[in-house]
DNA sequence: CTGTATCCCCGTGGATACTG
DNA sequence: CAGTATCCACGGGGATACAG
């Protein structure tokens, strides 16, 4: 794990770009929002979908996202207790941006594999 | 400057999301790509468009972006010498993602100002 | 199952000064 | 004008162990 991705700073407060990037900030954050855009997920499900994230970081990101109003947390009265996270309406507004990022990334990956052959 | 934005790590190499985010990584990087998406820009122009970035960080980001193949650098034989940066074809592929981010951010900002009144 | 508590490394980015 | 050279503080995130 050598390539670094994003540090949390808001270079231009009040700027559209920063407004959105601030919500996507934090390692794993876009991945988590992407997972949750497909429906509510439990803690362990998010761990399975992101194999190399540690519990500490996962719970950290989830707390951040909740604090920013991007996701909601619901404790289910099951046994053993489980917790479900899902996007808020604010969180859902991020989906177009996330989708665009995924689409661009997919196209770049396709080109890579095409070029290698 | 308290809000943190992005640290450069690639949590899931080979994943579309990471493929794209890796190119957007680094503080100021999306802003710079956004500036360059409107045409070639000189070093000092980029500084003027991003008032709080320091020369060290700006030249660092530009070197990173060049190394990733996102932008190209051209030294113009003027006097005094000037340097022009512009997006490569790879860099232009990022525009849809950046545009999406800006659009989402703009909508969120509009909502904020509407709610405050 | 869903987290929290420590410890620690190191990259990032700011400040400042200097150069061709 | 277009950078480079240092120095430094900060905090994010990994590893590991533990807890309700």
pLDDT 10s digits, B36-50: 999 999 999 999 999
Q: How far is the CA of B105 from the C1' of D18 (A)?
A: 41
The more confidently predicted of residues A10 and B81 is B81
Spell out which residues of chain B touch residue A49, defining contact as CB-CB under 8 Å: none
Q: Does A39 touch chain B (CB under 8 A)?
A: no
Copy the structure tokens of residue B74: 């051209």
Q: Which of B81, B93, B108, B116 is nearest to B24 (CA)?
A: B93
What would the pLDDT profile of A78-117 be if each residue is shown by its tens digit?
Answer: 888 899 999 999 999 999 999 999 999 999 999 988 877 6
Angle, helices A16-24 vs B29-36, to 10°: value is 140
Is there contact between B90 and strand D, defined as CB under 7 Å from any strand atom? no
pLDDT attached to residue A8 = 62
pTM score of the predicted model: 0.92
What would the pLDDT profile of B9-25 be if each residue is shown by its tens digit?
Answer: 677 888 999 999 999 99
Q: Does A92 touch chain B (CB under 8 A)?
A: no
Which strands, in side-by-side order, build the sheet including B41-42? B41-42, B82-87, B71-76
Mean pLDDT of chain B: 91
Nearest residue on chain B to A51, judged by CA atoms?
B12
Host H or E run for residue A47: helix A43-49
| Choice among A110-114, B63-67, B92-96 with the minimum mean pLDDT | A110-114
Of the candidates B3, B23, B25, which has its C-beta nearest A4's C-beta? B25
Nearest-neighbour CA in chain B from A50: distance (Å): 8
Nearest-neighbour CA in chain A from B80: distance (Å): 30
Q: How far is the CA of B62 from the C1' of D18 (A)?
A: 45
pLDDT attached to residue B113 = 85
Q: How far is the CA of B7 from the C1' of D7 (A)?
A: 21
What would the pLDDT profile of A45-82 be if each residue is shown by its tens digit?
Answer: 999 999 999 999 999 999 999 999 999 999 998 888 89
- Whether the CB-CB separation of B36 and B86 falls below 8 Å is answered with yes
Is there contact between A22 and strand D, defined as CB under 7 Å from any strand atom? no
Q: Which of A66, A44, A40 is nearest to A53 (CA)?
A: A44
Number of CB atoms found within 10 A of residue A37's CB: 16
The more confidently predicted of residues A28 and A9 is A28
Query: Please, which positions of strand D sit below 7 A from a protein CB?
Result: 1-6, 11-17, 20
Q: Does B20 touch chain A (CB under 8 A)?
A: yes
**pLDDT beyond 60 at A4:** no
**pLDDT beyond 80 at A39:** yes
């Amino acid at each position: 794990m050598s390539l670094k991705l994003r540090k949390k700073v808001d270079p231009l407060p009040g700027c559209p770009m920063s407004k959105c990037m601030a919500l996507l900030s934090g390692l794993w954050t876009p991945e988590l929002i992407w997972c949750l855009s497909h429906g509510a997920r439990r803690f362990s499900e998010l761990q399975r979908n992101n194999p190399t994230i540690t519990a500490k970081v996962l719970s950290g990101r989830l707390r951040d996202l909740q604090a920013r109003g991007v996701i909601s947390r619901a404790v289910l009265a099951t046994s053993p207790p489980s917790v479900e996270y899902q996007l808020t309406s604010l969180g859902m507004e991020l989906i177009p941006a996330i989708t665009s990022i995924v689409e661009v990334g997919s196209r770049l990956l396709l080109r890579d594999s095409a070029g290698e052959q």
